[in-house]
Structure formats: structure tokens, C-alpha cells
Amino acid sequence: MQLPKYKDIEEAHQRIMPFIVKTPVVSSKKINLLFGAEIFFKCENQQKVKAFKYRGATNAVQKLNIDEAARGVATHSSGNHAAALSLAAKMRNIPAYIVMPSSSPTIKVKNVENYGGIITFCEPTLQAREEILEKVIEKYDAEFIHPYNNFNVISGQGTACVELIKEVEQLDIVIAPVGGGGLLSGTSIAAKYLLPNIQVIGAEPANADDARRSLKAGKIITDFNKETIADGLRTYLGTLTFEIIKNNVTDILTATEESIITAMSILHNQGGIVVEPSSAVPLAVMLENKSFFIGKRVGIIVSGGNI
């Protein structure tokens, strides 16, 4: 199994720079005082499509050769990856075929349509998604771009951490939320290369702690309830992301639903940062583990702002 290395992230960064936003890194004195730490927020909520997902999708689309690109790209998603892939494909003037559950929120459907995605609806089950996607790929011979278990997607996601570290230079800890693991994987590769002694922490809802359980069990775990406000983190780890996280990540910490909501409020009221629940999970795990972070320089990847 070939895993991305730092050079792949570096090459991805050069490839996607004409298309992405170099998002700001912000800090809040009020939040720093509250936590007794220096916290630097990499604001991917200000990225195009309001999410880090645009980085990975753009890298994957731009890496396609001419013949592959001409056939278009396809995926199944009801969230940020659907919008990100649609816009990334639009930037290359190729079609994006998106399979979405019929239960998808209207605003998310409109986002995909506005970015040029061609939607096929399906029943709101994973089996239905996969079956319909298979038919779409067969019909158009489109290239499947997985939301996270994709070499080029992971490489693209790591570029946010590269920008963060190059701006603040020194960090003791970097935290990224973990669902399918694309962001945490890319972050961990970049962080460990640029700052070998850094601790890389995954942040996960306690109600959907499959990544934490998977690392403990030594295998990918999928069979349990995933009811959480942090809907972007309900996915399971992939084969690529599991291997990378297993090798690079110091620990995965979890947070309760109450802490996630409190963290959203702190970010908005104290830091002026509007985030979706998944993006608040890193600060939520800091709330529940304050002593671990006191006196440290902490980088947080704010993954998105689609509330």
C-alpha cells in the first residue's frame, strides 16, 4: 500500500495554489487566557466552499491526465466533499457526477448545483449510495474520487498544515478533527516532517469515537451508533488513513456533545470564528483536557464553516 509522503504534499501545494485561498491563521487573547495556552487557528472555514475539502478535491482533479479528466469525476457525498469536488471539476471544465441521498438538506443540494455538480439522488443508505455510484461510473466511465481514502486527496488536505506551520513556525501540538481521516492523515504527515517532535492529536466526538477505538483494536471498527451534532465526523476510517494515523498520530481525544456546543460558542463569541460543529471538536477536546495543553503552543485546523 503506497502512502503519501511530505514531498507529495509539497507537490500538491504547488499544484493547487492557483485555485485555493491561503486561509488566515488567527489567535485570540481571550481564548488563550481561557485555556492557558497559545492557540493558533488555521481558518479553513474561509476556504472556497467553506471547507478544507476543496484542497484535496482540487489536487485530485488537477492530477488527472487529459483522457481521465475528459470523462469527468464522480463521488457519493451529502456534505462538503460533494461541493468541493463539484467546484474543483468546474475549475477544470469537466463534469462532476454527485450521488446524494434524497434526505440531503436543501442548502447542500443547492451548493452542489451552484458549483456545477450533476446530482443523482438515492435512498439514504450507504448501500444505495454505493450501488448508484457504481451505475453512474459505469455509465460515464468517470473517475471515482473518494472523499478521504484517496492518495491525492490526502496529499491535498495536508497543505493546510504546511501553511499553518510555515506561518507560526513553532508548535508543540497540532489538532485536527477526525471522521474518515483525510485531514488528520495529511496534517500528521506534514506536521511530523516539518516539526519532528510535535504531538499530533486527533479530535473526535465521544458519540462517534470509531477512530479512537480502531487504533486501540488495531483494525478499522465500524459497528456502533454515531449520533452526534458533528455530522461531518460520522464516517469511518479508510485503509489508507488508518495506516497513516496509526503510524503518525500521538493520540485521539474525544469530547461530549455539550463540550462541542460550548466550543462553538467560545469560537464565535470570544474569537469571532464561525464554525460548523465538526470544526469545534478540537477546541472541545481541549476543554475536557485542559491540563494537557497548559503552557503549550497549539495549532488547530478549523475544518469548515458550513453550519
| Residues 197 and 67 occupy one common structural domain | no
Percent of the chain at pLDDT > 70 equals 99
Model confidence band, residue 36 (pLDDT cutoffs 50, 70, 90): very high
User: Quick check: is 293 in a domain?
Assistant: yes
Domain extent at residue 96: 54-150
* Same-domain check for residues 103 and 125: yes
Asked if 14 and 95 sit in the same domain, the reply is no
Mean pLDDT for all residues in the chain: 95
pLDDT band at 225 (very low <50, low <70, confident <90, very high): low
Give the CB-side neighbour count of residue 224, counting CA atoms within 13 A.
12
Residue 60 lies in a domain: yes
User: Is residue 307 included in any domain, yes or no?
Assistant: no
Residue with cell 470570544: 270
Secondary structure E strands in the chain = 25-26, 38-43, 73-76, 96-101, 118-122, 143-144, 173-177, 199-205, 251-255, 297-302
Residues 44 and 98 in one domain: no
What is the pLDDT, as a whole number, of residue 224?
Answer: 64
Q: Is 1 inside a domain boundary? A: no
| Residue 168 and residue 201 share a domain | yes
Quick one: cell of 42?
A: 488555521
Note whether 109 and 173 are same-domain residues: no
Specify whether 271 is located in the same domain as 143.
no
Provide the terminal-to-terminal Cα distance of the chain, rounded to the nearest Å: 36
Condensed to tens digits (0 to 9), the pLDDT of residues 147-203 reads 999 999 999 999 999 999 999 999 999 999 999 999 999 999 999 999 999 999 999
Q: What is the CATH number of the domain that holds 67?
A: 3.40.50.1100
pLDDT at 21 (0 to 100): 96
Pair 284, 233 in one domain: yes
Query: How many domains does the structure of the chain reveal?
Result: 2
Is pLDDT above 80 for 223?
no
The verdict on residue 42 lying in a domain is yes
Mean pLDDT confidence for 133-139: 95
pLDDT of 55 > 70? The answer is yes
SS3 148: coil
